[in-house]
Structure 1
Amino acid sequence: MEIHPKITPIYQTSVFKFEDLDGIAQYFDEPGSRYMYSRNGNPNSDELAEAVNRLEGGQGAIATGSGMAAILAAILAYCEAGDHVLCAADIYGGSAALLNQELNRLGISVSYVPFEKLYDLKLHLQPRTRLLLAETMSNPLLRVVDLRTLAEECHQHNVKLVIDNTFATPLLTRPIAYGADITLHSVTKYLAGHSDVTAGVVVAAEPETAARLRQIGMTLGLTLSPMESWLAVRGLKTLRLRVREHSANALAIAEMLDRHPVVQAVNYPGLPSHAEHQLAIAQGGTQFGGMLSFRLPDDEKQVNQFMRRTQRFPFAPSLAGVDSSLSHPLSTSHRALTLEQQQRLGITVGLVRLSVGIELKEELLIDLEQALGQA
């Protein structure tokens, strides 16, 4: 009896069988024709990788066990001991920790480039500078990178451009179309979308880079498990609907916060007052995603009071689930930065990051109003 499932089954197996020596020979002689061991590849992880590859317009991708594993794979695709990496100063704290603590220990050095200096790299280059790592929309300040200009600047100096596209998703921006060499995601966030998966994806603009990524993923054991891959593919099917609701809710909340007397500043690319608002429109159209941050007075007691009073934004140090949440960058994602780095970026006690979900907009607004009213 032939079975033709509409949904790909979960291939919850660590190893695949062969009929004879001809089968194993085919596996090695014809890459991609068969599966042998799930660390080397699995139908579910390949399905996820290919789905994101199509969305991003890439030439090949791998699915990894986390967003951090995706960043590691992307850097190792171009770097070895003795090489140098440039990194945008406005970057996720976990990325900075990986570069500072682990890759530095392995002989890969890093320099940080202020946002305002990204488009003129000459003073930051070293003889063995291999790549620049940046985010489409930075975490947590929501600065928007001019991808085309940045790609041109990097390539002028023979430097690869690696873009973390987690906040924007390929529905808003496709970095490869603007010249990026690699784009990556923490699938944990918007692509899976339901706060029940930990995963990453790395997408390459060139087939040779994609092949190198597959080798790195297999050798280092970065491959995503079948079950997590299956859940992520299921979440990905509603990405378009979710991003639309995330974006609409976040814009309404940003506008409300921008008017509120207690709030000192709001960081959201959808606001006309945002420094890169027009660039965000050019690269992403009329949607701006579900992430924003805002500034309360630098008073820990006041920030704590706000957090305790809100009912719809629990303090959960991650993002992009269908349920709203808030985070405190100074205490979580960026606590590993030096005090000087934190102060230079403006990551202080009063900075709060919101991940706006897809709940009823009116309920979210009412909740924030009452929580801020008591702040």
Structure 2
Amino acid sequence: MTPTAIHPKITPIYQTSVFKFDDLDAVQQYFDEPGSRYLYSRNGNPNSDELAAAVNQWEGGAGALATGSGMAAIFAALMTYCQAGDHVLCAADIYGGSAALLNLELSRLGISVSYVPFEELYDLNSHVQPGTKLLLCETMSNPLLRVVNLRAIAEECHRHGVKLVVDNTFATPVITKPLAHGANLVLHSVTKYLAGHSDVTAGAVVAGTPEDAARLRQIGTVFGLTLSPMESWLSVRGMKTLRLRVAAHSYNAQQVAEFLEAHPAVEAVYYPGLPTHPQHVLATGQGHGLFSGMLSFRLPDDAAVVNRFMQRSQRFPFAPSLAGVDSSCSHPLYTSHRALTDEQRADLGITVGLVRLSVGIEPVEELLADLAHALS
């Protein structure tokens, strides 16, 4: 059977680092007609391009880049707008890995950073500097699930001539599409909900304009951020069930949050789906009634108490990542937010008693029974 007679329903895995050319004319065509064919997988591969196109379609963007991790996606987003001498604003409620990149590495590139408390995000007058290029924030913050009013923050950023970069990992485009609210770039740790099965490490950045999309592509090629074919293929496969999974995650997390809120051993619960959450009304409108599968809750600030919970739980193993179909728990103080200063952690309320749950799609009654046992 000739290759032209093969019509697979699913894109094959192009596990190749290089593509063949017949002659010099074919090579010239590659450079004269961008996108007409492939040359080298760092520059582009059918699988990584398919993933980028899928994320771009979900977010309603003008083009996207698939990267080797969520951290690579953050780096690509920052490099799209920044160079030596520039200044970056970042929401104080931010993933610890993002803070590590900003604190430890950007300064070496001559880029300064300062943090904006959650309550001041909608009035940046005292934070914007002459060289401020962008503000980085999360749709739903990690780990306290504070929800940002995207339209309001976009208007404030653009009033100052500042780009808005949004990490949409917790929400996913099923719940919220930041570009539609005025964001300039949207990024994801594809490792999490988009791929969804805890078997991939990947990232993606989506641009709101063709110019930014072209810049992202250049950054991905020059810095070697491109995702491998196998990881791209697995991510695309995972995304085929994204809508169903996010709905199931959200349903289960709502039940878990309500159970924890009523439990006498729990001091506080942080989940936007609860009416007691400070941004519940905003999250309801901005998220179309879905609130993600992520939540945090507070136990007494006693490591022994936290350890007993983790040791007794069978359905929420201590696994410091999130968003897989199987539930897990994490501990921000000991894992994701170690890179923050003691002062930053104290300001955010990240103490030894704070536990983060990634609620999976298992039968919810099994999850509730496990939590009742672990907390008893």
TM-score by structure 2 length?
Answer: 0.99
- Aligned twin of 1:283: 286
- What's the counterpart of residue 227 of structure 2? 224
For residue 282 of structure 2, what is the amino acid of its counterpart?
L
Which residues of 2 match residues 181-192 of structure 1 at below 5 A? 181-192=184-195
Mapped pair 1:71 → 2:74: yes
**How big is the shift at 1:104?**
1.2
Match of 2:237 among 225, 234, 239: 234
Write out per-residue CA displacement over residues 62-101 of structure 1, whole angstroms, 9 at most, x where no aligned residue: 1000000000000000000110000000000000000000
Equivalent positions of 1:115-134 (< 5 A) are: 115-134=118-137
Provide the rounded CA distance (Å) in 2 between the counterparts of 1:104 and 1:180. 25
> For residues 128 and 184 of structure 2, what CA distance do their matches in structure 1 show?
18
Report how far residue 232 of structure 1 moved: 0.3
Give the partner amino acid of 2:8: P
Matches within 5 A, 1:145-160: 145-160=148-163
Shift of the alpha carbon at 1:293? 0.1
Q: The residue matched to 2:47 in structure 1 has which SS? A: helix
Which deviations, in whole Å up to 9, do the C-alpha atoms of 1:186-215 show, x marking residues without a partner? 000000000000000000000000000000
1:210 to 213, 235, 241: 213
The TM-score with structure 1 as length reference comes to 0.99
Letter in 2 for 1:285: H
Residue 11 in 1 paired to residue 14 in 2?
Answer: yes
CA RMSD of aligned residues (A): 0.4
Any stretches of 5+ residues in structure 2 without a counterpart? none
**Is residue 347 from structure 1 mapped to residue 314 from structure 2 by the alignment?**
no
Letter in 2 for 1:302: V
| Alignment partner of 1:264 out of 267, 285, 308 | 267
The 4+ residue runs of structure 1 with deviation greater than 6 A are none
Q: May I ask how many residue pairs the two structures share in their alignment? A: 373
In structure 1, the partner of 2:331 is: 328
CA drift at 1:35: 0.3
How far apart, in 2, do the equivalents of 1:64 and 1:7 lie?
A: 21
Q: Distance in 1 between matches of 2:318 and 2:10?
A: 35
Instruction: Return 5+ residue gaps in structure 1 as ranges.
Output: none
**1:285 CA displacement:** 1.3
Paired with 1:82 and 1:43, the residues of 2 have a C-alpha distance of 37
CA distance in structure 2 between the aligned counterparts of 1:107 and 1:240, rounded to whole angstroms: 41
Residue 133 of structure 1, CA deviation: 0.1
The counterpart of 1:303, out of the listed 301, 306, 324, is 306
Q: How far did 1:321 drift?
A: 0.3
CA distance in 1, matches of 2:102, 2:341: 14
